[in-house]
Copies of this chain bind each other. A is one copy, B any other.
Amino acid sequence: MPADKTTSMAEAISRIDPGSTVAAGLALEHAIPFAAGHELARQGIGDLTLVGPISDVLFDQLVGAGVASRVRAAWAGNVSAGSGYNFRRAVEGGDLSVENHSNFSVALALQAAALGVPYLPTRSLLGSDIAEEPQFRVTEDPFEGQRIVQVPAIAPDWAFVHVQRAAPTGDAHLWGNTGVTYQAVRAAEHVLVTTEEVVDLDVIKSDPSRTRITREQVDAVVEAPFGAHPSPVAGRYNRDNEYFLAYADATRDADGFDAWADEWVYGVNGREEYREKVERDLSVQEPTTAAEVTYGK
């Protein structure tokens, strides 16, 4: 029997050392692992480096909670509302160091680690000040003699991924857009899968072409229904747009953020209690079903 990796959110998050590099928000605005992020804040696991292309407001929340000292990302803010106020305050106050990327350079940095190479080349970034950031190296490509940017690998200690269904083994199905999820899973030393539903391995094996996260890559599986709220999860629930706007309104100053976090993070003891606080029904009302696919022999 393969190992059963299911555990509680609190136990899974307790495995993360302060000072770790954590990649999250990997499917961009889709399926952001907010439940896992909030548990990081509750446990106060500090000095984290956060990696991701954008994270909608997840990184802003972790910065506000004081657990992040560094962000390596392409963008940090609030997609609906623009600014992430905690992020701005922390950078402007000198409390947060930022490594500036583009989305593609984050993807390539993770893919480099996933392919076991020190860097990947790209012709993006050329001509921008991002290319001049210290982590990159602009050079001449030896085949065609054109300028090229070498993007160094980022191998996170942990990647957090939220999926629709996973087996206790860690084998998982994720659908809808995936952003840099698979690159991060392969790049990371450890992977936490939070899932709307834990299913039998047979369900996963019924459609192996949908499985791109497999057990050797996964350390822990946590059943966390509604675990991506307020971000959307394909086939499950819609984005809670009002929540993002209310978050922006509430967090324009530091006290506002603290009050918000007292209510939504520290004031709940887990995702069930959190869920009860969200009064809107976001569940998918008009499901469309994927056309049948068979395997067999």
In the bound complex, how far is the Cα of B175 from the Cα of A284, in angstroms?
A: 27
Chain A residues 246 to 297 lying within 8 A of chain B, measured CB to CB, are 284-297
A285 cross-chain contacts in B, Cβ below 8 A: 296-297
| 21 residue pairs from A and B, CB less than 8 Å apart | A116-B123, A117-B120, A117-B123, A117-B148, A118-B121, A118-B142, A119-B121, A121-B121, A137-B143, A139-B142, A164-B293, A175-B209, A176-B295, A178-B209, A206-B290, A209-B234, A235-B295, A284-B297, A286-B296, A290-B292, A290-B294
Chain A residues touching B, majority SS? loop
Chain A count of residues within 8 A CB distance of the other chain: 50
Contact (Cβ within 8 A) B295 A207: no
Query: Is A144 an interface position by the 8 A CB rule?
Result: yes
A122 cross-chain contacts in B, Cβ below 8 A: 115, 117
Question: Which residues of A are interface residues toward B (Cβ below 8 A)?
Answer: 115-123, 137, 139, 141-144, 146, 148, 150, 152-153, 164, 173, 175-178, 199, 203-204, 206-207, 209-210, 234-235, 238, 284-297
Number of copies: 2
Contact (Cβ within 8 A) B291 A287: no
A234 cross-chain contacts in B, Cβ below 8 A: 209, 295
A139 cross-chain contacts in B, Cβ below 8 A: 142
In the bound complex, how far is the Cα of B296 from the Cα of A287, in angstroms?
A: 4
Contact (Cβ within 8 A) A119 B137: no
Minimum CB–CB distance from A140 to chain B (whole Å) comes to 10
Contact (Cβ within 8 A) B119 A141: yes
In the bound complex, how far is the Cα of B296 from the Cα of A270, in angstroms?
A: 28
Partner of A290, one of B123, B235, B295: B295
Taking A116-B123, A118-B142, A286-B296 as known contacts, 14 extra A-B pairs with beta carbons closer than 8 A to each other, sorted by chain A number, are A118-B141, A118-B148, A137-B143, A143-B150, A175-B295, A203-B291, A206-B289, A207-B291, A209-B234, A210-B293, A284-B296, A286-B297, A287-B295, A290-B294
In the bound complex, how far is the Cα of B173 from the Cα of A120, in angstroms?
A: 29
In the bound complex, how far is the Cα of B203 from the Cα of A233, in angstroms?
A: 21
Contact (Cβ within 8 A) A143 B121: no
Smallest CB-CB A-B distances: 8 pairs: A207-B290, A287-B296, A175-B209, A287-B294, A235-B294, A290-B293, A118-B143, A284-B296
Contact (Cβ within 8 A) A143 B152: yes
A235 cross-chain contacts in B, Cβ below 8 A: 293-296
In the bound complex, how far is the Cα of B288 from the Cα of A204, in angstroms?
A: 12
In the bound complex, how far is the Cα of B287 from the Cα of A293, in angstroms?
A: 10
